[in-house]
Amino acid sequence: MINQQSQSLYTPQQVMDKSFQFTDEELIDRFQNGDEQSYIELVTRYKDRLINFVFRLVNDRDQAEDIIQDTMLKLYTHKHYYKNIAKFSTWIYTIAGNFAKTELRKKKTRKVTNNSQLGPEDRDYDPPSNDPSPEKLVESEFINTKIHEAIEKLPEHFKIVTVLRDIEKLPYEEISNIVDVPLGTVKSRINRARIQLQKDLKDYI
Amino acid sequence: MNRYEFEDKISDYLDNQLNVSERKAFETYVQENEEAGELLSSIKNTVDLIKSQKSIKTSENFMPNLVDRVKMYKKTPVKSISSHQKNMIFGLSPMNSALMGAFIFSFVLLLLNIAPSGNSFFQSNIASNKKNMIEKPLSKPSSIPIDEVDFVSADSSKDTIKPKEKIKLGNKIKLVKNK
């Protein structure tokens, strides 16, 4: 089925017209029953959200995209492992987070190059700025780089919850399910991470 | 509220997680402590800055690459669930079932070593009978003369009964009964 429709499945204009009517849980249920268009819709909904999350963890855009590919492939191959007792977003974020943690562990055994050690032409993180003024453009890019470095400096368990809360804007309860720690611990980690970030960034705010 | 409690509640305050009384106490502390107010403001600005970070998106090749990977997955033979279940022994994988079997076997061996031997019941009966024979007091016949007393060591440490020893007292001891 996917062979015949592969050329049209991933074209943005070919996305299901009525896809917005279905919740994530309804889409995964339809996918589990054989509807592969629902799979494409889920991928479309979550690929950009997940790459932001994973990128903050691994600090490498290409690697983050590979991890999201692995996550979406796992969604395809293990669709029946999802049970409707938790939110679909919790499940997919957990998969992506686990892949990211595995990659981080592998990184520890290899030489890690910090973003600050690279020249501007080598840096992966180069967010676009909408401000036309060159001076403000440089300043904005500079602050973004500093924020990115400050987040990168956080311990892994602080980084994950901070990204999920302040960048992905997930509720505390869902974060607690994703990282599998009590709600109080999530709140405590986020609080401590924010205090640490404030200390690192106070000169630039 | 002290400094530590204040710092612990900063995120809850910024995320509107405090109840009415906690919020009031927090705001009172901030009003009374200028340094706390500065810290709160600084952290709020930091959080706002992080939230305003530009998001990145996947590349244009993401979906075509994913579709190719899905095609590859479909081409390669995949172990079906039923074939996987055929290798299961009592619901366990072969390795786990071997480990479970070894555990059960060692547990049974341990039980056999701890449990008492099978004929111990009979041995205890025989021992109790012997004990009864040793402890049973010997009755003294009334016709035996007083001056000739049979001494029988009934409570000897040995299991065997000592032979009677006749001791002639003569006029050395006068017993009450002679009176």
Report the run of H or E that residue B163 belongs to, with start and end: none
DSSP-derived secondary structure letter, B161 = P
Q: What is the distance in angstroms between the Cα of A111 and the nearest Cα belonging to chain B?
A: 25
Q: What's the gap in Å between the CA of B25 and the closest CA on chain A?
A: 18
Topology of domain A19-112, CATH: Rna Polymerase Sigma Factor; Chain: A (1.10.1740)
Cβ-based burial of B61 (10 A; exposed 0-12, middle 13-18, buried ≥19): exposed
Neighbours of A154 (CB within 10 A): 20
**Residues of B in Cβ contact (< 8 Å) with A194:** 10-11, 43, 46-47
Q: Give A84's pLDDT tier (boundaries 50, 70, 90).
A: confident
Cα separation of A187 and A181, whole Å? 10
Q: Tell me: pLDDT of A3 over 90.
A: no
CB contact under 8 A, A197 and B46: yes
**Tokens matching residue B16:** 């509107």
Would you call A13 an interface residue with chain B, using a CB distance cutoff of 8 Å? no
**How far is A54 from A69, CA to CA, in rounded Å?**
11
CA-based torsion, B50, B51, B54, B59: positive or negative? positive
Q: What is the pLDDT of residues A33-60, one digit of tens each?
A: 999 999 999 999 999 999 999 999 998 9
Instruction: Report how far residue A172's alpha carbon sits from residue B83's, in angstroms, rounded to the nearest whole number.
Output: 41
pLDDT at A136 (0 to 100):
67
Subunit contact B58:A10, Cβ cutoff 8 A: no
User: How many other C-beta atoms can be found within 10 angstroms of the C-beta atom of residue A49?
Assistant: 20
d(CA A189, CA A162): 8
In this predicted model, what pLDDT tens digit does every residue of A118-165 receive, in sequence order?
A: 445 544 555 555 555 667 667 777 888 888 899 999 999 999 999 999
Interface test with B, best of A69, A146, A175 (most B CBs within 10 A): A69
Strand partners, B89: B92
**Any A CB within 8 A of B7 CB:** yes
A56 vs A116, which has greater pLDDT? A56
Domain ranges in chain A are: 19-112
d(CA B75, CA B119): 69
Chain A residue numbers with beta carbons less than 8 Å from the beta carbon of B67 are 2, 6, 9-10
B151's enclosing H/E stretch is: strand B148-151
Instruction: State ipTM.
Output: 0.74
Indicate the residue of B46, B54, B71 with minimum beta-carbon distance to A128: B54
Query: In this complex, is the C-beta atom of B156 within 8 Å of any C-beta atom belonging to chain A?
Result: no
Q: Which residues of B are less than 8 Å from A65 in CB distance?
A: 58-59, 62
> Pick from A141, A139, A157, A137: which is nearest to A149 by CA?
A141
Name, in order, each residue with C-beta under 8 angstroms of A170's C-beta and a sequence gap of 6 or more. Answer: A89, A93, A164, A178
What would the pLDDT profile of B21-55 be if each residue is shown by its tens digit?
999 999 999 999 999 999 999 999 999 989 888 88
As a whole number of angstroms, the distance between CA A71 and CA B84 comes to: 23
Across the interface, whether the CB atoms of B56 and A2 are under 8 A apart is answered no
Cβ–Cβ below 8 Å for B45 and A194: no
pLDDT at B149: 44
Which site among A38, A70, A198 would you substitute to test the B interface, given the most B Cβ atoms closer than 10 Å to its Cβ?
A198
Strand partners, B165: B151
Q: What is the pLDDT of residue B154?
A: 44
Helical residues (DSSP H) of B19-176, grouped into ranges = 20-32, 34-51, 62-75, 81-86, 94-114, 120-135
Look at residue A11 and tell me whether its pLDDT is greater than 60: no
Question: Using CA atoms, how far apart are residues B175 and A53, in angstroms rounded to an integer?
Answer: 111
Reduced to 3 states (helix: H, G, I; strand: E, B; else coil), residue A184 is helix
Contact at CB, B69 and A73, closer than 8 angstroms = yes
Count other Cβ atoms within 10 Å, centred on residue A48.
15
C-alpha–C-alpha distance, residues B140 and B158, integer Å = 22
**Chain B interface includes A6 (CB < 8 A):** yes
